[in-house]
Structure 1
Amino acid sequence: MDCKEMILSEDTYDIITDFSASEFLGDDNNCYERIGEDFLILYLANLGIRNPKIDFFPYHNMPKLYGLMQLSPSGETPPGAAPFDPASLIASGITQVQRPPLSLTGQGVILCFIDTGIDYQNPVFLDENGNSRVLAIWDQTVQTGAPPDGLKYGSEYRREDINLALRSEDPYSIVPSRDENGHGSILAGVAAGSIVRQGSPYIGAAPGADIVVVKLKECKQYLRSFYLVPEGVPAYQENDIMLGIKYAESFVRLFERPVVICLGLGTNQGDHAGNSSLSRYLSSLAVRRSRAAIVCGGNEGNASHHYHGRLSAQTPGEDSRDVELRVSEGCIGFWLELWGALPDAFNLSIRTPGGENIPELRLGLQQSVTYSFIYEKSRVTIDSALVEENSGEELILVRIQDPTPGIWTFHVSASGSLYNGNFHMWLPITEFLSTPVYFLNPDPDMTLTEPSMAPEVLSVSTYNAENNSFYAESGRGFGRTGQIRPDLSAPGVNISTIDGRRTGSSMAAAITAGAVAQFFQWSVIEGNNRLAESREIRSYFIRGAVRTQGLNYPNREWGYGRLNLEETFNALLRV
């Protein structure tokens, strides 16, 4: 196989490293993609390994899987059933600064969406002359065209290709990239939709910005199987997202103008402290001038997928904890991550709904053990890392196939002396479970999805602009090790989109990304602060955030308050 075939093949494993990994690169197996100065994506022959385990491929080397952070409430309005409602843009102070004297529309700024693609024929992505506002598309799923410079797979289509397609009787014969899911097009429309006055009126937050799109390919089957993600559920690999960010970064160097990256994806995998490879890479770019990364906080706040426990050696009966979770009928399986806190170490035992037991385990530095049962067909694999490489903390990963429905009990105890006593457990995001699985005594805090914990990104939770209430499903902060997240809250409930009303944290991220593009126009394009980047924009936006009297800020739901771009400029006037 050549390198492109290895990247796309189901017979190769994708590995993320933060070192050269020359020992993996033999004469017949030298396929890799380099990302910046710190990361390398290796594509390795599967070496006859049936199931990857973290005693062979360390946890931080295996790509995490990310899902779409949009919900579809039962009262959703279909396209065309209701007129465009700018309430969310007005509540965010966006409409106000689109008007004179500021007239900020994102002109000169690039908004990049790494998602499911874009419907490039939709009028909201055309300018007043009918030409495309899409600067480029990198479609990772189409292999008939040339890939972007410096990348080895997929097909790139530039604006001239797209304009040629728009004038053709068969556009997809020239630019065959489609958004079958629609999520990416919805995000792009909310953040950067053009002013459409004919037919159904529409406008996005930054209608003057240029658009760059990365259509992600779906995950390989071995990762879907390992993480037990149901078939047909959109799931995207961490390394493909990182390469999409690399692609977005190339436009900063090419045009010397700001790029805003909008991520409407999330996962419950990782330490929830911003140490994943994707989080580290995002942060390394966000601190560079004329870059900004906007990340949604997910919809896991009310899902009962997080448990927080604290053991105490001083209190009788508190030196161990039984953690119960319920598994519904028909579940194909799930994984569970337990993260400890230095300097403690933890033991784990498991009791099935049928009363069978896995005895208390104290796994080694890095080890994998698999159990089966006599009267139940469940199969449990426990992987451990006393020192997980990216975070330095203890990780116990439990993977349960064909779980018996009912209540599973995880008995957590200390191994040796207790000092901190804190541990956290996370289940997969709702989209990655075939049937409901949930803790019976969950903690709704620390439910922001990754990579919203990345240190230098702008992380947003979700609220309802119709009544200024916090959205119950929205992820909540803070980070596992105390990081102040989210930064802000933005509207994300019943948002007017090009495909009817939509709800979810990805909508909040799109609105915020549009506001950042507007601010970049003022700061970089118009010369008011040419050195602006994510950290400075976050500080400006925090100063302009709307805060409710009687609440303490920052807090776990709202961060530093509600996004309001007009108030950001009013705050600058008061300086």
Structure 2
Amino acid sequence: MTCKEKILSEDYIDLINYFVLPQGTVEGNDDIFCYIPINERFLSIYYSRSILPPLEVSSYYYRYIPRLYGLMEPFAPEALDRNFDIQPLVRSGITLVQREPLSLTGRNVVLGFVDTGIDYRNPVFRREDGSTRILAIWDQSVQTGTPPDGYIYGSEYTREQINEALQSDNPLELVPSTDEIGHGTAMASAAAGSALNGGLDYLGAAPDADIVVVKLKQAKQFLRDYYMTPDDVPAYETNDIMLGIKYVSSFRVPFEKPTVICLGLGSSFGDHSGSSSLSDYVSNVGSEINQVVVIAAGNEGNAAHHFSGYIETGQSIRAEMMVSEGTRGFLLELWGRIPDFYSVSVRSPGGEVVPPVSGRLGQSVEYTFVYEKTKVRLDYQTIESETGNEVAVIRFESPSPGLWTVIITREGGDGTGNVNMWLPLRQFVDGRVEFLQPTPETTITSPGFAEPPITVSAYNSRNNSFYINSGQGFSSNGDIKPDIAAPGVDISVATGMVQGKTLVGTSTGTSLSAALAAGAAAQFLQWAVVEYNSPYVGGVAVRNYFLRGANRESAYTYPNRQWGYGRLNMEGVFNWIAGLPAL
């Protein structure tokens, strides 16, 4: 079996290795495994499931369990066939710096998207002569073409191939890459859409930027089954996302071709401190010279999927969850901070109780209720290897509808006594599960707590109100996130074509606020690197310029759990550089 077959096979599990393997080849070591190097620390490795234990925390270190990432919420344009609305770009100061004398349009900057693909045929991604602005597409879901060198799977389509396809009667015969969902196309159009009809019909934040796209393949079924994710909901694996980021980053040429990588994906699991493998990797990528990573804060702020509480030593608290009829199942993660240690019990709607399971011994318990027909598995890891904290993963299969209660007892320790629990992304639950006393703070999705990437929350630019579903900070250890807020409500996006013309609709969410901020970052990199005004800048510098130029209201204190350091304002950035008064 080739490595490509292993990567695509349901008989092989995709893992992230945190250390370099002994001498070997990318093509694989017999039929047991193969791997693709990501960087000097991480390997994307594919193991035969036949020699591995079942996918459970008790059988693996927590950090080795593959994580699923989603599109924050299912993407659906909220309105079709709308006139283009430039107002969010104006309020962000983006259009002012697009005009003379600065003329910042993202020229010679690469804007990369690791998402659901792109509709490359749409005029919003083409130049006035009809040629494409896309440098390359790596479609991980199509196996009929040639993969990028060193990546083994999927198909790569170059600018030359895309241009050839655009000149043919049936472009998809030559470049069969599409965006059936539309999420990636929407993000790319908001960040980098061409100026159609002089910007009257459409205009992105960086309309002259070059575009690189990775279309992620869907997660394997056995992993979706582990998380009990609905079959019709898009879900993506860590391995594919990390390799996609590596691919986009390869187009960066220091001092010549800076790169912005925009991520509109997230997960609600992890300890929310930026410690996951994907967070570690984007931190590394975002620290490179002439490279910026921009991440959506997620749309979980109003999902009622986070519970936070304080427990005195020897005392308990109860976290109540309402589970709707027809819920197939779900996972819940509980995190406590060292040196405290806890025990956990679960009470069903009918009153049956899982006896307390102590984290002291790292126990694992599976309990089947007599009357509820529900199976609960509780896996404890006393010391999670990446964070050093205590984590319990509770898996509910076929939960009875009604009020479920998780009882947490602080057995000892002289720490803060704070515990946090997170449920999956809203769309990853086949039904409705909510905490009755949720906490909207610390709901930014992973990898949004990574440093130094720019994490962006969303607001309504028409009335300056915070978008109610936007993820909120700070991190679980108090680090400042989000960094900044950008318009994310009723953003004009490309939603299709009618008789060869771009169909404009509107959409809402932090993916769109991240896209606008990514386009703004491309504007800044044109000024700093391409035009050689500050050629050594990287992600940290760009973020700090953005924070200095942000709009801040006197009614709020900053940094802020919702707004970060304020609202994105590119005009304010260059006024600060020029020494002009703040707006």
Is the TM value for this pair above 0.5? yes
Residue among 37, 40, 60 paired with 1:57: 60
Q: Secondary structure at the match of 1:68?
A: coil
What is the aligned partner in structure 1 of residue 8 from structure 2? 8
Q: Does 1:482 align with 2:485?
A: no
What is the aligned partner in structure 1 of residue 34 from structure 2? 31
CA deviation vs aligned residue, 1:124-164 (integer Å, no higher than 9, x gap): 00001110000000000001111101111000000000000
Distance 1:209 1:419 in 2: 49
CA deviation vs aligned residue, 1:82-139 (integer Å, no higher than 9, x gap): 2100111011100111000000000000000000000000000000111000000000
What is the aligned partner in structure 1 of residue 79 from structure 2? 77
Structure 2 residue runs of 5 or longer lacking an equivalent are 496-504
Change (3 A) 1:255 1:542: closer
- Matched positions, count: 568
Letter of the structure 1 residue corresponding to residue 140 of structure 2:
Q
- 8 A Cα contact 2:274 2:447, kept in partner: yes
Letter of the structure 2 residue corresponding to residue 233 of structure 1:
V
Q: Does 1:528 align with 2:538?
A: no
1:113-262 aligned at under 5 Å gives the runs 113-197=113-197, 201-253=201-253, 256-262=256-262
Change (3 A) 1:241 1:59: same
Structure 1 residue 220: Cα displacement? 0.4
Using the TM superposition, name which of 24-33 and 202-211 deviates more.
Answer: 24-33
Letter of the structure 2 residue corresponding to residue 370 of structure 1:
E
Q: Secondary structure at the match of 1:241?
A: helix
Distance 1:143 1:367 in 2: 43
CA deviation vs aligned residue, 1:464-513 (integer Å, no higher than 9, x gap): 00100011111110000111000000000011111211001100000000
Residue among 373, 391, 394 paired with 1:377: 373
CA deviation vs aligned residue, 1:504-526 (integer Å, no higher than 9, x gap): 11000000000000000000000
Q: Secondary structure at the match of 1:251?
A: coil
CA deviation vs aligned residue, 1:259-286 (integer Å, no higher than 9, x gap): 1000011110111000000000000111
Residue among 448, 461, 464 paired with 2:460: 464
Letter of the structure 1 residue corresponding to residue 553 of structure 2:
T
Q: CA RMSD in A?
A: 1.8
Distance 2:172 2:539 in 1: 36
Distance 1:131 1:391 in 2: 48
Structure 1 residue 23: Cα displacement? 11
What is the aligned partner in structure 1 of residue 518 from structure 2? 513
Distance 2:61 2:23 in 1: 16
Change (3 A) 1:460 1:532: same
Change (3 A) 1:568 1:198: closer
Structure 1 residue runs of 5 or longer lacking an equivalent are none
Distance 1:135 1:381 in 2: 47
Distance 1:462 1:390 in 2: 30
Residue among 376, 380, 403 paired with 2:399: 403
Structure 1 residue 254: Cα displacement? 9.0
CA deviation vs aligned residue, 1:38-81 (integer Å, no higher than 9, x gap): 1011101112657411122222112211111356689x221x2x
Distance 1:553 1:200 in 2: 36
Distance 2:53 2:122 in 1: 44
Structure 1 residue 234: Cα displacement? 0.3
The percent of aligned pairs where both chains have the same amino acid is 50
Structure 1 residue 392: Cα displacement? 1.2
Distance 1:349 1:23 in 2: 46
- 8 A Cα contact 1:205 1:515, kept in partner: yes
Distance 1:5 1:129 in 2: 41
- 8 A Cα contact 1:54 1:366, kept in partner: no
Distance 1:520 1:70 in 2: 30
Distance 1:27 1:448 in 2: 41
Residue among 386, 392, 408 paired with 1:390: 386
Letter of the structure 2 residue corresponding to residue 436 of structure 1:
R
- 8 A Cα contact 1:71 1:503, kept in partner: no
CA deviation vs aligned residue, 1:182-223 (integer Å, no higher than 9, x gap): 110010000000011189710100000000000000000111
Q: Secondary structure at the match of 1:16?
A: strand
Distance 1:294 1:262 in 2: 5
Letter of the structure 2 residue corresponding to residue 2 of structure 1:
T
Distance 1:440 1:571 in 2: 45
Q: Does 1:550 align with 2:546?
A: no
Distance 1:141 1:27 in 2: 25
Q: Secondary structure at the match of 2:197?
A: coil
Letter of the structure 1 residue corresponding to residue 491 of structure 2:
I
CA deviation vs aligned residue, 1:165-198 (integer Å, no higher than 9, x gap): 0011111111010101111001000000001118
Q: Does 1:310 align with 2:310?
A: yes
Q: Secondary structure at the match of 2:250?
A: helix
What is the aligned partner in structure 2 of residue 45 from structure 1? 48
1:302-341 aligned at under 5 Å gives the runs 302-313=302-313, 319-341=315-337
Residue among 436, 440, 454 paired with 2:436: 440
Distance 2:524 2:91 in 1: 16
Letter of the structure 1 residue corresponding to residue 412 of structure 2:
G
- 8 A Cα contact 2:93 2:570, kept in partner: yes
Distance 1:565 1:405 in 2: 49
Distance 2:413 2:193 in 1: 57
Residue among 354, 357, 360 paired with 1:358: 354
- 8 A Cα contact 1:70 1:505, kept in partner: no
Distance 2:388 2:441 in 1: 22
- 8 A Cα contact 2:270 2:276, kept in partner: yes
- 8 A Cα contact 2:341 2:359, kept in partner: no
Using the TM superposition, name which of 22-31 and 469-478 deviates more.
Answer: 22-31
Distance 2:407 2:166 in 1: 61
Residue among 508, 513, 517 paired with 1:503: 508
Change (3 A) 1:199 1:289: closer
- 8 A Cα contact 1:71 1:502, kept in partner: no
What is the aligned partner in structure 1 of residue 95 from structure 2? 95
Distance 2:452 2:193 in 1: 27
Structure 1 residue 420: Cα displacement? 1.6
Distance 2:37 2:360 in 1: 33
- 8 A Cα contact 1:189 1:204, kept in partner: yes
Q: Secondary structure at the match of 2:430?
A: coil
- 8 A Cα contact 1:71 1:504, kept in partner: no
Q: Does 1:449 align with 2:451?
A: no
Change (3 A) 1:191 1:224: same
Letter of the structure 2 residue corresponding to residue 244 of structure 1:
G
Q: Secondary structure at the match of 2:317?
A: strand
1:271-286 aligned at under 5 Å gives the runs 271-286=271-286
